[in-house]
Amino acid sequence: MKSSTPVIVLTFIVGILIIAEFFLPGLNLANASNEVQNWGVVIAAFALGLAAVNLVRIHGRRIILRRSEWWNSALLLFFLFYMIVVGIIAGTDYIAYEFAFQNVMTPLGATMYAMLSFWIASAAYRAFVARSIEASILLISAAIVMLGNAPIGEAIWARFPALGSWIMDIPNTAAMRGIMIGAAIGAIALGIRVMVGIERGYLGGGNE
């Protein structure tokens, strides 16, 4: 028996339990299913810890080997340990923890996202060209949705918001529904493959 067999069997049992609890409420599997899902929460919490350990390993190695821009790794590890130590010892409502979150992490995160507006403006100018029929439709639709979303569009022509909403509600919804239904069918197929042990990527080491 391969070492992965017990995990595959366990995956099948857990999968069947969750599905049966949803579709066959008469079997009274709610407590068992709830318990299994709470295990999932605990495993996810351990995964967070594992991610932190992995970060320390990767960036610690970069610092030791003095790889290019190793000081960025040092800064990352400093703040990682700062938040962990302050958070555990003093709590997440302690002023030093809140200060770092509100005055370092939040502005940095917002800045990263805000930079997109500059790149989008530059990229739209270079790439958003009506080279074909499809590109022209995309271009016109995007312009209408943008004008419908910005108050100035409404000031230019009062019908822009209604036109933008129509694009979002009808053609966009139709296309998105198709994509979502396709993705859902794919997810069901993947779920079945995982449960019966055909898909083993989650075990690590590929599909051997």
Contacts with other proteins, residue ranges (CB under 8 A): 22, 30, 33-34, 37-38, 40-41, 43-45, 47-48, 92-93, 98, 101-102, 105-110, 112-114, 117-118, 120-122, 124-126, 128-131, 139, 143, 146-147, 149-155, 161, 165, 168-169, 172-173, 176-177, 180
Distance CA 200, CA 208 (A): 8
CB-nearer residue toward other proteins: 89 or 129: 129
- What phi, psi does 125 have (nearest 5°)? -60, -40
CB-nearer residue toward other proteins: 8 or 139: 139
CB-nearer residue toward other proteins: 40 or 201: 40
Write down the least CB distance from residue 164 to other proteins, Å.
9
Let me know how long the chain is: 208
Distance CA 169, CA 164 (A): 9
Distance CA 161, CA 150 (A): 9
Write down the least CB distance from residue 208 to other proteins, Å.
27
Write down the least CB distance from residue 159 to other proteins, Å.
11
CA distances from 66 to 53, 62, 78 (A): 20, 6, 16
Distance CA 88, CA 49 (A): 14
CB-nearer residue toward other proteins: 68 or 117: 117
CB-nearer residue toward other proteins: 64 or 110: 110
Write down the least CB distance from residue 141 to other proteins, Å.
11
Distance CA 32, CA 9 (A): 17
Distance CA 205, CA 208 (A): 7
Residue 46: other Cβ atoms inside 10 A: 9
Write down the least CB distance from residue 107 to other proteins, Å.
8
CB-nearer residue toward other proteins: 30 or 64: 30
Write down the least CB distance from residue 186 to other proteins, Å.
15
